[in-house]
Amino acid sequence: MTTGAAVFLITVGMFFLIVGSIGILRLPDVFSRAHALSLTDSLGAFFVLAGLAVYEGLTINCLRIVVVMLLIYLMNPVISHATLRAAYRSGLRPSEEEEK
């Protein structure tokens, strides 16, 4: 039962991570790439770590995995925001043209 739930959660998380990496390969400028990366990365890592915590069972290590999960969830948007604010203030602008 817990093994099945863990496999399901890890598969969902890997789906999000794969979608994010397709986005970072295909999208045209730094702002859209960061959009693809930060959203899917937070959710994908969250799901994979949740699956590993479920597989671990109800121990102290499960709680520590949850702490790492919350840390990623708090830290990833902050890093993306700081990087993009630096990009905007140093003169980069989102590209207006359509991708061919």
Binding site residues, other proteins, CB under 8 A: 3, 7, 10, 14, 17-18, 20-21, 24-25, 30, 33-34, 37, 41, 45, 48-49, 52, 55-56, 61, 64-65, 67-68, 71-72, 75-76, 78-80, 82-87, 89-92
User: Pseudo-torsion of CA 18, 55, 66, 72, nearest 10°?
Assistant: -20
- Residue 11 DSSP one-character state: H
How many Å apart are CA 71 and CA 62, to the nearest integer?
14
The distance of closest approach from Cβ of residue 57 to other proteins in the complex, given in angstroms and rounded to an integer, is 11
The distance of closest approach from Cβ of residue 60 to other proteins in the complex, given in angstroms and rounded to an integer, is 8
